[in-house]
């Protein structure tokens, strides 16, 4: 069994800065960490590897410094790390990122063996879109199992997996053929502490480093800013409202009625406008 885990090195959310011209995140001089959601994906992949055997390959796209996060993943026990780095990837949105990563996963399959499962975190703390995982699944033609809280069963002989997916109002139990892509929820497992042997191995390990050409990407115009249709027009911190919240005292009447009366008192024309609208029904 071969599992690929896509991770991202992200800026510490407490120290994020935004470029005033391009409106992209400025990473220089900002401490970086493995995206917290991706840690749960790494742990789940390692648990499956430990139980059923096989290999775990960790993949990330980013500048050369992203190798630090890959070495951290190796200290947890991952077998291999691949860094996708090239100036053509700079400024990628989720569409361009999913294109580059899916190309790299295809290349990983050619070099190290096809992936049975691709793991990602639910989302990243810098983008918060939750789009890259599904985007990879779409490009690779994989069944996508998102917001997974538990791996209930894995049948390598029958080539199927059963998961519990968190949904509104309950839990969905889904069974899917392999290969598939899984996005893991936070808090779904307890992240291990790597052993001393893994830490020593990670320090000596060679990070497989690929450019766009190495990853088999023939058209670099689909990467980076050139391949990113998303345009951030403006990034700003909202100004605090000068007007303070108003406390509504029910004074013996039902709270809902008290709130409605307070709203109508504050906006006298609203009641008449609502009454006019209601005449059409």
Q: Is the pLDDT of residue 141 over 90?
A: yes
Residue-level pLDDT at 242: 80
The listed range with the strongest mean pLDDT (5-19, 49-63, 195-209, 239-253) is 49-63
Secondary structure string (H, E, C) spanning 215-266: CCCCCHHHCCHHHCCCCCCCCCCCCCCCCCCCCCCCCCCCHHHHHHHHHHHH
Q: Average per-residue pLDDT in the chain?
A: 88
Residue-level pLDDT at 236: 67
Binning pLDDT at 50, 70 and 90, where does residue 57 land? very high
Q: Is the pLDDT of residue 60 over 90?
A: yes
Find the helix or strand (DSSP H, E) in which 56 lies. Answer: strand 55-61
pLDDT digits (tens, 9 = 90+) for 172-229: 999 999 999 999 999 888 888 888 888 998 898 899 999 999 999 988 889 888 888 8
What percent of the chain stands above pLDDT 70?
Answer: 92
Find the helix or strand (DSSP H, E) in which 149 lies. Answer: strand 143-155
pTM of model > 0.75: yes
SS3 state at 237: coil
SS3 state at 220: helix
Binning pLDDT at 50, 70 and 90, where does residue 264 land? confident
- Domain over 2-227 is classified CATH 3.40.50.720: no
Binning pLDDT at 50, 70 and 90, where does residue 243 land? confident
Delimit the domains of the chain by residue range.
Answer: 2-227, 241-280
């Amino acid at each position: 069994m071969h599992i690929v885990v896509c991770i991202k090195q992200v800026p510490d959310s407490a120290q994020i800065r935004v470029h005033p011209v391009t409106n992209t995140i400025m990473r220089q001089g900002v401490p970086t960490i493995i995206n917290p959601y991706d840690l749960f994906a790494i742990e789940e992949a390692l648990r499956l590897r430990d139980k059923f055997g096989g290999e775990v390959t960790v993949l990330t796209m980013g500048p050369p410094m992203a190798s630090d996060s890959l070495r951290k993943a190796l200290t947890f026990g991952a077998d291999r790390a691949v860094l996708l780095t090239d100036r053509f990837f700079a400024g990628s949105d989720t569409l361009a990122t999913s294109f580059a990563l899916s190309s790299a996963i295809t290349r990983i399959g050619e070099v190290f063996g096809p992936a049975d499962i691709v793991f990602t975190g639910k989302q990243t703390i810098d983008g918060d879109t939750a789009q890259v995982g599904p985007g990879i699944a779409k490009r690779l033609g994989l069944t996508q199992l998102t917001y997974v809280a538990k791996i209930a069963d894995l049948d390598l002989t029958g080539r199927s997996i059963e998961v519990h997916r968190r949904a509104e109002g309950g839990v969905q139990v889904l069974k899917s053929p392999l290969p598939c892509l899984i996005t893991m929820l936070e808090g779904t497992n307890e992240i291990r502490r790597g052993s001393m042997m893994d830490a020593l191995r990670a320090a000596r390990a060679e990070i497989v480093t690929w450019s766009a050409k190495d990853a088999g990407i023939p058209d670099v115009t689909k990467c980076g800013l050139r391949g990113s249709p998303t345009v951030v027009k403006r990034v700003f911190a909202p100004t605090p409202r000068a007007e303070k919240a108003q406390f509504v005292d029910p004074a013996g009447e039902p709270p809902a009625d008290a709130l409605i009366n307070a709203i109508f008192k504050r906006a006298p024309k609203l009641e008449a406008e609502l009454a006019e609208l209601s005449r059409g029904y």
